[in-house]
Amino acid sequence: MLNIHDPRKTESTPPLLRLGFRPFFLFGATLSILGVVLWVLALSGVIAFQPHGGAYWWHGHEMLFGFATAIIAGFLLTAVQNWTGVPGLSGNKLLALVLLWLAPRLTLPITALPLELVMALDLAFLPAVAIALGHSVAKVRQWRNLVFVPMMLLMACLNALSYLALTEGNPLLAQKALQGAALVVIMIVALLGGRVIPFFTERASSYQRKANLWYLDAGTFVSLLMLIAALVLDLTALQRPTAAVAAIIILIRWHRWGWRHTFSVPLLWSLHLSYLCIPVGLGIIALGLPFSAGFHALAAGGMGGMILAMMARVSLGHTGRLLEPPKAMVIGFVMVLLAVVLRVMAGLLPMAYLPLLVASALAWGLAFGIFIVKYGPMLTAPRADGRPG
């Protein structure tokens, strides 16, 4: 990590606010547990939970625009510092961005507050992240990294569409907005995965990295963008063939990243198996099996599993520790993959839907709970090597 911070300024900043990954990983992981557990408890009739939009809309919205965007923001605001050499957000500026993310999370369950106020706060977050990223990239004219700015803005548009559907009482439109947003997250994960998974695998194993093939990278982006358009615009005839093309391209990319070298390294196999959930989920959709099963293979595995694996690795490196996760974290990796399997089975076996859903929620909560317990002290303490960040 580049030493581009003023040490005196860093020392006066609380450790939690020294780089974007620290607060967003910690708070995002916490929200991921609440987003699953509260919804399952409400669905089971254990609690009466009626936030703005109802428990179903809230669950989908918060897992995407609360949990996923927090982790993506934390990762990108940290990574852009290494990409550009421009110091990442920290201190009061980072605190302001965190509070902007936190405010709608706290107010969405309070139906006494006007939805318009909650919506205005929520819709401001992703453009703010895009501005911060764009500023760093433009400052050094590193235009290839600008690709994540329009993705943040596309997510913001889909968030606005989900609120529009809510205000108009259009559940079908709300569902399409959330499905489209999930696929944008998958697109971000797929593109980032192409950068970091081969690199991490080469660093921690005997694998020799192969050069990226531009047409596979472009095919990933285009095919997923077409699938998003087919879902949001209700172009039913295009959905299955587009999902099939995307699944094949992404599977070929993943196959080139040295998965055979990962079995003895938890930080690697957790990444590879989670990434594999993306072509598996797309394949389920392409085969015409229940959409919910394929969608949750993507959302819980390709998104949730990848997020947990990335947080576990990035947090170690950026807090100055050896790239060896706590032993309990290996259980966390297993639990999140188990949660994916159970959630996909719930979509395929409607007669056992609720028991499988509850079991999946428990496994998910345990996985991210282990991360919070084991990594929370790292994220709230100065770097172990004494360096800034």
State pLDDT tens for residues 333-349.
999 999 999 999 999 99
pLDDT at site 211? 86
- Rounded distance, CA 121 to CA 92, Å? 18
Q: Which of 133-137, 270-274, 369-373, 377-381 has the lowest mean pLDDT?
A: 133-137
pLDDT at site 6? 54
- Rounded distance, CA 328 to CA 368, Å? 11
Side chain identity, residue 90? S
**pLDDT over 90 at 389, yes or no:** no
Residue 222 domain-assigned? yes
Q: 1 pLDDT band (50/70/90 cuts)?
A: very low
Residue 118 domain-assigned? yes
Residue 1 domain-assigned? no
pLDDT at site 9? 58
- Rounded distance, CA 246 to CA 237, Å? 15
Residue 384 domain-assigned? no
Residue 389 domain-assigned? no
Please, what is the average pLDDT of the chain? 92
Residue 97 domain-assigned? yes
Q: What is the mean pLDDT of residues 281-302?
A: 95
* DSSP state, residue 146: G
Residue 323 domain-assigned? yes
Q: 10 pLDDT band (50/70/90 cuts)?
A: low
**Which residues, 6+ apart, have CB-to-CB distance to 139 below 8 Å?**
84, 86
Residue 385 domain-assigned? no
**For residues 205, 211, 215 and 218, what is the CA-based torsion angle, rounded to 10 degrees?**
60
Convert the pLDDT of each residue in 37-61 to its tens digit.
999 999 998 999 999 999 999 999 9
CATH number, position 232: 1.20.210.10
Which single residue is written with the structure tokens 């609440």? 34
Q: Which residue has the higher pLDDT, 175 or 6?
A: 175
pLDDT at site 372? 98
Q: Per the structure, how many domains does the chain have? A: 1
Convert the pLDDT of each residue in 73-118 to its tens digit.
999 999 888 888 888 899 999 999 999 999 999 999 999 999 999 9
Closest CA relative to residue 137, chosen from 195, 191, 83: 83
- Rounded distance, CA 246 to CA 239, Å? 11
**For residues 115, 117, 119 and 125, what is the CA-based torsion angle, rounded to 10 degrees?**
-160
Convert the pLDDT of each residue in 272-285 to its tens digit.
999 999 999 999 99
Domain residue limits at 110: 7-379
- Rounded distance, CA 319 to CA 349, Å? 43
